[in-house]
């Protein structure tokens, strides 16, 4: 006899009572091959291949310790597991549970249909062999496990194949299975989800439905691609022709480098190269704080460059005369600002209260010149 856990050793799961008979069949096969005939030895081997709790339960039976026959011990174990009896392998309740579960899950493709058909056939064939259900009842119950959306299409095909079929009689199960396979052939797992909720009044072939599904998918792909392309074009346009430093600074996730020089360590508001080019008269900031040319205009879009500085350089390369004008404008502007600043300081100094009673100045005496220094 093989050891416990060996690949040829029989196994039994207490949660699956229907497997109990197969376990004893495999055990009987090993007994015959090993020529084990003693009843006590057979009982020991029967308890040896199951788990510890099950082994203790079987060993506690009265037929285990006595000199009772091995067959009596086996029948006593069968009584512990309802559903392991040969006469009660399947019940009508099992059939109803299967159809209800399949109706809840639905039949989405050929794999689901095959799984439902195999289980239903195993249960109902056993019930019919025991005269517990009839053939007509078997066919009616099979249709009960199919969702209404799918059954409506199956029924349409059956009406075409069996035009003289009486409406009150159930269709043969083989015919229903073939019609379901015909409709589900080549479908995906999500096919019926996209199907219409209402049943069409005319027969619709599977080819037409597949074509509509493909058109829907193609339309969605096209719409998604168009949105992605528009977003990409908008981002590219913003990077190339964006002259608003505030907007660019707020969009750090899209572009984390300086718009003017390309340095990733700062933004355009803190760029030293911007300040240097302002002093050189190449650019200036307008009333909104945006960097523009010395003339006050933005760099034309026709002037290309990786960053704004390269576009400014390219612009002045194409228009060298404007660079001199910009430098002169910056010099005049800076001198004017300095002159006004000095005049303001002098005026404030004259009007200071501490100097109201000071000695007369040269400018206070009209028409007189200060004496020459000796």
pLDDT band at 349 (very low <50, low <70, confident <90, very high): very low
With a cut of 80, say whether residue 191 has pLDDT above it. no
Cβ neighbours for 67, distance < 8 A, ≥ 6 positions apart:
39, 40
Task: Give residue 146's pLDDT.
Answer: 92
Task: Give residue 14's pLDDT.
Answer: 87
Express each pLDDT in 138-181 by its tens digit.
999 999 999 998 899 998 899 998 988 888 889 998 999 999 98
Give the number of other Cβ atoms within 10 Å of residue 143's Cβ: 16
pLDDT band at 68 (very low <50, low <70, confident <90, very high): confident
Using a cut of 0.95, tell me whether the model's pTM lies above it: no
Record the tokens describing residue 137, joined without a space: 């009842």
Task: Give residue 220's pLDDT.
Answer: 72
Task: Give residue 130's pLDDT.
Answer: 86
* Mean pLDDT value across residues 236-250: 47
Contact status, residue 85 vs residue 45, Cβ threshold 8 Å: no
Higher pLDDT, 323 or 366: 323
End-to-end CA distance of the chain: 140
Average pLDDT of the chain is: 76
- Point out which residues pair with 283 in neighbouring strands: 293
The closest alpha carbon to 285, from 268, 302, 261, belongs to 268
% of residues, the chain, pLDDT over 70: 70
Distance CA 40, CA 30 (A): 15
Distance CA 68, CA 75 (A): 11
DSSP 368: -
Task: Give residue 328's pLDDT.
Answer: 56
Task: Give residue 305's pLDDT.
Answer: 86
User: Lowest-pLDDT range, 7-21, 104-118, 235-249?
Assistant: 235-249
For tokens 């969605």, the residue is: 220
Record the tokens describing residue 206, joined without a space: 């599977």
Task: Give residue 120's pLDDT.
Answer: 93
Query: Hey, what's the torsion of the CAs at 162, 163, 169, 174, to 10 degrees?
Result: 10
- Please provide the size of the chain in residues: 374
User: Lowest-pLDDT range, 105-114, 248-257, 271-280?
Assistant: 248-257
Distance CA 269, CA 261 (A): 11
Higher pLDDT, 66 or 197: 66
User: Lowest-pLDDT range, 67-71, 157-161, 204-208, 296-300?
Assistant: 204-208
* Mean pLDDT value across residues 253-270: 78
Contact status, residue 144 vs residue 167, Cβ threshold 8 Å: no
DSSP 352: -
For tokens 């010099």, the residue is: 331
Kind and range of the H or E run holding 91? none
* Mean pLDDT value across residues 56-66: 86
Query: Hey, what's the torsion of the CAs at 275, 280, 282, 287, to 10 degrees?
Result: 50
């Amino acid at each position: 006899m093989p050891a416990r856990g060996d690949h040829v050793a029989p196994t039994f799961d207490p949660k699956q009572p229907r497997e109990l008979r197969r376990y004893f069949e495999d055990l009987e096969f090993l007994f015959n091959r090993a020529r084990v005939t003693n009843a006590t030895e057979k009982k020991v081997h029967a308890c040896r291949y199951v788990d510890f709790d099950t082994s203790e339960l079987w060993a506690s039976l009265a037929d285990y310790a006595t000199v009772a026959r091995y067959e009596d011990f086996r029948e006593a174990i069968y009584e512990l597991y309802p559903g392991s009896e040969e006469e009660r392998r399947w019940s009508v309740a099992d059939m109803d549970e299967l159809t209800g579960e399949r109706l809840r899950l639905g039949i989405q493709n050929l794999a689901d249909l095959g799984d439902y058909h195999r289980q239903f056939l195993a249960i109902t064939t056993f019930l019919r062999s025991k005269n517990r259900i009839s053939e007509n009842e078997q066919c009616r119950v099979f249709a009960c496990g199919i969702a209404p959306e799918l059954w409506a299409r199956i029924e349409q095909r059956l009406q075409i194949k069996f035009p003289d079929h009486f409406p009150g009689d159930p269709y043969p199960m083989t015919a229903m299975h073939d019609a379901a396979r015909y409709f589900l052939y080549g479908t995906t797992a999500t096919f019926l989800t996209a199907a219409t909720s209402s049943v069409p009044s005319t027969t619709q072939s599977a080819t037409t439905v597949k074509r509509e599904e493909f058109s829907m998918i193609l339309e969605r792909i096209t719409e998604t691609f168009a949105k992605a392309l528009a977003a990409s074009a908008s981002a590219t346009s913003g990077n190339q022709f964006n002259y608003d430093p505030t907007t660019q600074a707020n969009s750090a996730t899209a572009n984390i480098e300086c718009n003017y020089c390309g340095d990733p360590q700062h933004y355009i508001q803190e760029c030293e190269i911007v300040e240097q080019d302002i002093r050189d008269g190449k650019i200036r900031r307008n009333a909104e704080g945006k960097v523009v040319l010395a003339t006050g205009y933005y760099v034309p879009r026709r002037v290309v460059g990786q960053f704004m500085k390269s576009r400014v350089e390219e612009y002045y390369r194409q228009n060298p005369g404007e660079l001199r004008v910009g430098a002169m404008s910056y010099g005049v502007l800076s001198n004017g600002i300095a002159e006004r600043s000095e005049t303001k300081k002098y005026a404030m100094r004259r009007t200071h209260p501490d100097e109201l009673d000071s000695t007369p100045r040269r400018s206070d005496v009209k028409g007189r010149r200060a004496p020459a220094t000796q």
